[in-house]
């Protein structure tokens, strides 16, 4: 039985971690797979595997020099782990882990697989260290001749080829696996929360509450929509560790006139039941690689209004065929009372258009379910199995 490592910065509740764990659960009977965290994190994407994860370090805090030194220590630990366990393949799933993976595999002659889940050209808040750690792996792939690269969308592959001049023959596109049967089943679970026991439109957004998800734009837009019509906004997602960002969001919420119609659920094990009971799903992200959650929302029969950010939504919604696309949002942290930007107005108008057209809701709901069926996890699992067999 071939051995593999799946390496992540942390196997938290993000989409890339969820995808890796789905693949792990499917392939662990055919391969001896170990999950490896660069950093400790109590917010595992799945409690079923939390005891099986190898952790290399506690989290890094401090200056850039301190972070670089800490990563060097992590690299040495991972090299030691590869030497002791001798896997044939090491697959990394996010940017900091890519750097460690590429260097460690070059030292140990283990085959690296670089699974790119998000846009390497995007870093929130102009974080210099973060920008280096996101783009450096792409240049390493190019100049060190990494031949096993996976992207989760065709749009991401195009970016790697056009921006970083990576050989397209070294890149395979494999969509994230989705258990559409399970999603359809648990989306019918009962909701006892009184917030949903109302006869008004419900707008929902699902994703970790972190800057790249652009939730401040959605709060500003919702306040204007609520002035026009009765409605509610639900945001499902794990609250990130960026204290400054959270305080900014809290300031917006405190200034809202209609904050009683806003509900932050935090992380929930079954967001699908909330999505299925909502009128429209809204994606306000500044950057995406695949937009896993768009497919989940379509499977739940919830019509989509999504920002047209770089890659992901346009590919999945086929240029608007399966949902509305609005103009890209910016990174500026506005106050609640600042005038809406043109992009925010565009999203607001499309949200209102969807909410106020019952026939359109039915059409997009039905078509979305048909589109989501194309992403059945059996297709993705088969492609991953074949991919690993071919390079083992």
Give 30's contacts (C-beta < 8 A, 6+ positions apart): 1, 385
Model confidence at 194, pLDDT cuts 50, 70, 90, reads confident
Radius of gyration in angstroms for the set of CA atoms belonging to the chain, rounded to a whole number: 21
Averaged pLDDT for residues 36-65: 74
Q: Which residues of 35-58 are buried (b: 16+ CB within 10 A; e: fewer)?
A: bbbbbebebbbbeebeeebeebee
pLDDT digits (tens, 9 = 90+) for 132-168: 888 999 999 999 999 999 999 999 999 999 999 999 9
Q: Is 65 exposed, middle or buried (0-12, 13-18, 19+ CB in 10 A)?
A: exposed
Averaged pLDDT for residues 69-77: 93
**What pTM, to 2 d.p., does this model score?**
0.84
Q: Do the Cβ atoms of 302 and 280 come closer than 8 Å?
A: yes
Q: What is the pLDDT of residue 124?
A: 64
Alpha-carbon distance of 340 to 336, in angstroms, equals 9
Structure tokens at 321: 């065929």
Distances (CA, A) of 48 to 29, 45, 166: 16, 9, 37
Percent of the chain with pLDDT over 90: 72
Taken in order of first residue, the domains within the chain and their CATH numbers are: 3-177+376-391 (3.40.50.2000), 180-375 (3.40.50.2000)
Phi, psi of 216 (to 5 degrees): -65, -35
pLDDT digits (tens, 9 = 90+) for 257-309: 999 999 999 989 899 999 999 999 999 999 888 888 999 999 999 999 999 98
Q: What is the pLDDT of residue 336?
A: 96
Q: What is the pLDDT of residue 375?
A: 87
Mapping DSSP to helix (H, G, I), strand (E, B) and coil, where does residue 209 land? strand
Q: Do the Cβ atoms of 50 and 40 come closer than 8 Å?
A: no
Structure tokens at 208: 């970790």
Closest CA to 137 of 9, 320, 324: 9
Mean model confidence pLDDT for the chain: 91
pLDDT digits (tens, 9 = 90+) for 3-46: 999 999 888 767 788 889 989 999 999 999 999 999 986 555 55
């Amino acid at each position: 039985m071939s051995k593999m490592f799946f390496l992540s910065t942390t196997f938290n509740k993000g989409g890339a971690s969820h995808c890796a764990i789905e693949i792990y659960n499917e392939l662990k009977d055919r391969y001896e797979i170990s999950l490896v965290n660069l950093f400790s994190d109590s917010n595992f994407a799945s409690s079923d595997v939390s005891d099986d994860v190898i952790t290399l370090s506690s989290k890094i805090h401090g200056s850039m020099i301190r972070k670089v030194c800490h990563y060097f220590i992590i690299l040495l630990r991972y090299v030691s782990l590869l030497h002791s366990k001798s896997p044939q393949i090491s697959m990394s799933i996010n940017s900091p882990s890519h750097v460690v993976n590429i260097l460690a595999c070059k030292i140990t002659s283990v085959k690296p697989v670089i699974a790119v889940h998000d846009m390497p050209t995007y870093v929130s808040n102009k974080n210099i260290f973060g920008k280096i750690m996101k783009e450096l792996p792409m240049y390493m792939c190019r100049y060190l001749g990494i031949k096993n690269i996976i992207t989760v969308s065709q749009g991401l592959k195009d970016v790697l080829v056009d921006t970083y001049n990576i050989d397209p023959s070294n890149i395979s596109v494999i969509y994230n696996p989705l258990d559409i049967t399970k999603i359809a089943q648990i989306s019918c679970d009962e909701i006892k929360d009184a917030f949903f026991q109302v006869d008004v439109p419900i707008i929902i957004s699902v994703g970790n509450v972190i800057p790249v998800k652009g939730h401040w734009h959605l709060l500003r837009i919702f306040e204007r929509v609520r002035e026009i019509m009765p409605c509610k906004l639900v945001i499902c997602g794990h609250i990130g560790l960026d204290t400054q960002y959270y305080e900014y969001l809290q300031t917006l919420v405190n200034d809202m006139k209609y904050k009683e119609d806003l509900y932050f659920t935090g992380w929930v094990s079954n967001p699908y039941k909330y999505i299925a009971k909502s009128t429209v799903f809204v994606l306000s992200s500044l950057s995406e690689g695949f937009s896993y959650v768009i497919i989940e929302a379509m499977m739940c029969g919830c019509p989509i209004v999504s920002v047209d950010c770089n890659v992901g939504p346009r590919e999945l919604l086929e240029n608007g065929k399966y949902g509305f696309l609005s103009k890209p949002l910016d990174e500026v942290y506005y106050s609640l009372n600042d005038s809406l930007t043109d992009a925010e107005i565009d999203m607001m108008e499309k949200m209102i258009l969807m909410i106020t057209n019952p026939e359109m809701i039915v059409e997009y709901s039905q078509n979305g379910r048909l589109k989501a069926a194309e992403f059945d996890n059996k297709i993705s699992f088969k492609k991953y199995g074949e991919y690993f067999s071919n390079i083992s």
